[in-house]
Every structure is written in C-alpha cells, then in structure tokens.
Amino acid sequence: MSEESAAAKEPTKREEEPPTKKVKSGTMEQAPAGEWPEAWVMPEGECEDQKALNKQDPNVPVTVEELKDIGICYWKLDAAAYEYPKISVPWDPKDAVDPKLSKLRDDRGYSYADIITVHPDTLPEYDAKVKAFFEEHIHDAEEIRYILGGSGFFDVRNKEDRWVRVHIKSGDLMTLPEGIYHRFTVDEADRIHAMRLFIGQPVWTPFNRPCEEHESRKKYVEEFLEEKKTEG
C-alpha cells in the first residue's frame, strides 16, 4: 500500500480512561477464542463484489483452531482508548503508550510501524489501490496489522485451498505467516484505519500467485500444509 506521509501526533490516552495497569513480564498470550474475529469459508468461484460479506448459504464458519492451524495469530487491544494520527509514514513504535501494544512490540521485535487510512479521501487512486490489494499474493515476511478503526476483510487460503474470509475491525491485531496466500479489501463502509508493523527494515513487496518455488512459500508449505511424519 502506498500512502502520503503526515506529521505524527503522539498517541495519548483518552482523559476519561483510568490508568492502565502495568503488563506482567513474559510473552503475552493470544486472545481467547470468544474474542477472535468472525471467519467463514467463501463461496467457490470468482468473487464478483470483493467488499460484500460473501458468505455461503448456509454459512460455513471457520473455528479459531482452524485459523491457528494455518498460522494465524490474534490479539485483542483497546484501540478506541488511544488516539493515533490518520496517516503517519513512518510512525515510531517506541511512541506506543498502550501497554499491550508495547508488550507485543517488545515480545515480537517490531521495530518499524506506519499508520494509514484506506479511504477515498486519504488514499490517492483509491479504487485502483483497493483492487490491487485484492490480488492473491504472498510476502517474504510475516504480515502484521493492527486495526485502529473502520473494518475490512483479510482472505486467506485454508488447507483445502479454499478462501477463508476474516472480518477485521477496530482493536484487532492479527498476523499472517510468511508465505501464506492471502488478499485484503475494505468492506462496504470503505474505510479502515490501520497500523502496519515490521521487524527490521520494511519490505512490502507482494509476490502474486503462482509462486510455489518461492522460498517463503516452500517454508510455509513445510510448516503448515505438509503432513508431519510420525516415527514408529
């Protein structure tokens, strides 16, 4: 995604919120199953309207365990309790005042961040960009998105190579593993405010399918798709 830079306003805790207790040491556990976003298997065939829900009739829900099984990680944060700029490219993750976000940053080594708003008023060539985001692709690094406002969809391929649609909303922090086939779109509200995090120097290069010979795809297949051999 290509966006304009803007002066970063340091996020501040909203005045009406009480002080947040210090996060205990140790790796922060993922959200309990009841807090994960809704996910479902999409209908087969071409997706005629990428912004629609695209559920089957009857709906085919996808469980949290199924999402974890293909490498998805998820944490629930209170995005509404803090203020962030609409656009800041880059944004220093050391400026985080949310203790949960700071904890995840330190646990997982996130050293770069930027903040974007995907909306017709803030993203030049909006329609073309949203269409491009929806091309099926992989990355050669983990993809991390923290949704600060608005909503949208991440579509990921399951073990049967079917599309699973995950409806992401404010407060959702989700990671996609390196090498997973996926795509992204806003929903019918046409607005999503998101933070992108990265370990080290950011590289946003997409590799469009097919890319079975790409080292990142091979790594993903070996870790998540191949049947593990059991010793007798």
Averaged pLDDT in 10-residue chunks for the chain of 232 residues: 40 41 61 98 97 98 98 98 97 97 96 97 96 97 97 98 98 98 98 97 92 98 81 44
Angle at 156 between CA 55 and CA 181, to 5 degrees: 145
Global confidence as pTM: 0.87
How does DSSP classify residue 62? Answer: -
Could you tell me which of 111, 100, 55 has the C-alpha nearest to residue 74?
100
List, in order, residues 6 or more apart from 183 with CB less than 8 Å away: 133, 134, 135, 136, 137, 154, 155
